[in-house]
């Protein structure tokens, strides 16, 4: 039996001012007052963490806060960066690492992402490790190699007992922000492959416990179908998480 609790996260990317973020969260908390079927996470820009942390701490909601990035050091001469411990001050539970936009625009490598995964875990944050192939790799049938490498390096030196605190997000780059989601069949095939790789790298038991989200042009129209797949344990939502009614409709109908 699948006992993995679904996890639905919104990645706002570089969107929303503090006042926009507060307005969103007011509605979200009302809409999800009674809701606890899946873990719900919002990942705003750093600038809105304090305001949202304040709102969440005044409510009894189960909504959790996540950050979009961290730097793998506790403090020091890293101008412009944010440490895992700074995120903990805002009661962040999750942090996205290895998002393809950071890999592409900021040149983040699997090795650097691995440092972030370990830094997050050492501060008791749950890393959401994003992996996924680009269009060329998919068309050339190379997605297995790519995903296998991202998992192997991204989770290097992560202890088996720490794996339970990790979430993997499968985000095919060709589906991000394009309006062209992976079909449930395509996504399920990759999620199953990820679980098999985790089983090979760790153990079958750990693989069965690990939550694997799908991300890439998720919308109210395709969310349910994706979530029905046996190895899809949640969603990482970009564009469709920016409108609170749309985000809530995905959550409440899932
Ligand atoms: C993302 O960037 O994590 C993402 C999944 O974006 P979108 O839903 O807009 O494709």
Residue 247 CB less than 6 A away from ligand 1:
no
What pLDDT is stored for residue 3 in this prediction? 86
Kindly report the pTM of this predicted structure: 0.97
pLDDT single digits (tens) 71-90: 999 999 999 999 999 999 99
- 171 as an active site residue: the answer is yes
Ligand 1 nearest-atom number relative to CA 241: 8
Domain-wise residue ranges, the chain: 7-245
**Residue carrying the six token digits 């991300």:** 215
Ligand 1 nearest-atom number relative to CA 239: 9
Q: In the CATH hierarchy, which fold is given to the domain comprising 7-245?
A: TIM Barrel (3.20.20)
Catalytic residue among 108, 171, 191, 197: 171
Of all protein residues, the one whose alpha carbon is nearest to atom 8 of ligand 1 is 238
What pLDDT is stored for residue 1 in this prediction? 58
- ipTM for the predicted complex comes to 0.97
Catalytic residue among 99, 101, 133, 191: 99
pLDDT tens digits in sequence order for the chain, 254 residues long: 568 999 999 999 999 999 999 999 999 999 999 999 999 999 999 999 999 999 999 999 899 999 999 999 999 999 999 999 999 999 999 999 999 999 999 999 999 999 999 999 999 999 999 999 999 999 999 999 999 999 999 999 999 999 999 999 999 999 999 999 999 999 999 999 999 999 999 999 999 999 999 999 999 999 999 999 999 999 999 999 999 999 999 999 98
- 75 as an active site residue: the answer is no
**What is the C-alpha to C-alpha distance for residues 250 and 246, in angstroms, rounded to an integer?**
6
């Amino acid at each position: 039996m699948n006992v993995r609790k679904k996890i639905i996260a919104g990645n706002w990317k570089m969107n929303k001012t503090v006042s926009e973020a507060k307005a969103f969260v007011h509605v979200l908390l009302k809409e999800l007052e009674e809701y606890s079927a899946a873990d719900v996470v919002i990942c705003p820009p750093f600038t809105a963490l304090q305001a949202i942390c304040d709102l969440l701490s005044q409510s009894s909601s189960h909504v959790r806060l996540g950050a979009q990035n961290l730097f793998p050091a506790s403090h020091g001469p890293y101008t412009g960066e944010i440490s895992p411990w700074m995120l903990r001050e805002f009661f962040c539970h999750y942090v996205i690492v290895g998002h393809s936009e950071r890999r592409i625009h900021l040149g983040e490598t699997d090795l650097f992402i691995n440092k972030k995964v370990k830094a997050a875990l050492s501060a008791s944050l749950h890393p959401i490790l994003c992996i996924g192939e680009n269009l060329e790799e998919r068309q050339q049938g190379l997605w297995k190699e790519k995903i296998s490498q991202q998992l192997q390096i991204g989770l290097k030196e992560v202890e088996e007992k720490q794996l339970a605190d990790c979430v993997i997000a499968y985000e095919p780059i060709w589906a991000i922000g394009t309006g062209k989601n992976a079909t449930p069949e395509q996504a399920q095939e990759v999620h199953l492959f990820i679980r098999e790789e985790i089983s090979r790298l760790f153990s079958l038991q750990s693989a069965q416990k690990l939550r694997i989200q799908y991300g890439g042009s998720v919308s109210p129209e395709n969310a349910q179908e994706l979530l029905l797949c046996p190895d899809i344990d949640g969603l990482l939502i970009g564009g469709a998480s920016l409108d609170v009614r749309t985000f809530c409709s995905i959550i409440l109908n899932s």
